[in-house]
Amino acid sequence: MPGARDGYLDIEASYDDDSVLLKLDGRDYRIEFPEEVWGPLREEVKSSIVDHLAFLATNYLPLVAEKKGVRYNTRLPMFDAFSFKSNTMDMSSSAVLDWRNPYDYVRDYLNLDFVFSPERPIVWSETFEPEDTAIISFTSGKDSLLTLAVCLELGLDPILINVVEPSNTYEGRHKAEILEGINEEFGIGYYTVPNEVGLFHDSTHMGLRLTSLGWGNQLMYYLFIYLPFIIHHRAKYVFYGNEQSCDFEVEGSEGFRNNFCYDQSSHWTVQQDIMLRTLTGGSASLGSLVGPLNEIAVVKCLHEGYPELAKYQMSCFCEDEVTREHRWCCNCSKCARNYAFIKAIGGDPERVGFWREMFSEECEALYSAMDGKETYGFDRSGLGREEQELALLMASEEDPSNLFLQRFREKTDLGIRCENSEGDLLSYLKEYYFTPQEYPAIPGELKEQVYEIYNRLLKSRKG
């Protein structure tokens, strides 16, 4: 990279009428806000948001660039200690995905130096009379679409915010079309936030090795992007699409427990609620409405309960050239997983834009349930394997003549275990994966209504 002469990176951060600017190696990276949203904020609020965004976006970079630390022109962030926990809890799983030793990552992170301006840290809160408005962290994936649907049932006024990552050229264009379609069809307001700072995750742009580091603070980073909108709209809630599987862990190398999406876990969602309630004097709360549901249950609730919204689903990173024209690449393990879930509930993948038959020999390497070698991230971790196996078993009940599904049934031992189980293992698995689970990160006053909605939608469970 780019690197500082004495082994430190230097980050300068500031703001103007509608943007936060971070400078690294002489280049400005901008996070753009609508002027009417950013402009009215108090100066100390703006300065504190800058302090946090600068730190959260860069505190992993010295690990990748092999530097001693970072020097900031900003103050110590108010929630520095929260960031430390989230980053630390992400280290061991990042090491697994990067084929590195987790001890090395944890040790090197603990040894970094972060040097801040000597100015006194800003401590603030902005209390307001909340309205029945919910900010939804919107990706157009199944979780954010179901969150939108549930908000409408709860009588909340939803506002969708999509943070536009600059490296995702095709993904960004498809999401813009989806947001416009939802706005035209349902009259739901939305914002897009251009985020050039996202280029720090682009290894090609940065001249650094490809890494999973840096994502441990991503939702906390987004929270500080959302703050101006929360205050402007006097929003009562902020909702992320953190589902039940975000709490799953496996034992990793060197005895570490690995959660491959810790910052989406229920524990960290509660931590972020603490942050938001502190910053807004209790005026706003943060949570996840889909947290009680496993992935396949999310798909069932969305596609059977809200088909008019389900048709907008897009859960692919759109990195292949083919996604210039399609919102699913049909060539990654994320596409394979969603395809299997939709087929399992008897849905039609073509309705959401799948253009390729993914129950085929050519796609076998994309399925963790088939021991696929071309999986990545969550799929590669093995955490969702049982749920995917269940989905393929259910799909084979829908289409018993499919050769791919026949090969799966021959290969997996889940089908054999189900057939030999005295307690009817298949029924047990369906019961578990299609039943709302206890989840602590739903705002208390909404919990009963949310569970009533899911119990109603899942009552027609097959099998």
What are the tens digits of pLDDT across the range 389-440? 999 999 998 899 999 999 898 877 665 566 655 557 778 889 999 999 999 9
Q: Identify whether residues 149 and 171 lie together within a single domain.
A: yes
The number of distinct structural domains making up the chain is 2
Mean pLDDT of 107-114: 96
pLDDT surpasses 80 at 337 = yes
3-state helix, strand, coil in the chain (%, to 5): 50, 15, 35
What are the tens digits of pLDDT across the range 191-223? 999 999 999 999 999 999 999 999 999 999 999
261, part of any domain: yes
Domain termination site, one of 261, 287, 313: 287
Prediction pTM value: 0.94
Question: What are the φ/ψ torsions at residue 425 (nearest 5 degrees)?
Answer: -60, -40
Q: Identify whether residues 166 and 43 lie together within a single domain.
A: yes
What is the extent of the structural domain holding 172? 8-287
Query: How big is the chain by its Cα radius of gyration, in Å?
Result: 22
pLDDT surpasses 80 at 319 = yes
463, part of any domain: no
185, part of any domain: yes
Instruction: Using CA atoms of 320, 324, 330, 334 in order, give the dihedral in degrees to the nearest 10.
Output: 70
pLDDT at 371: 85
Q: Identify whether residues 266 and 318 lie together within a single domain.
A: no
Q: Identify whether residues 47 and 178 lie together within a single domain.
A: yes
Q: How far apart are the first and last CA of the chain?
A: 56
458, part of any domain: no
CB within 8 Å of 204: residues ≥ 6 apart = none
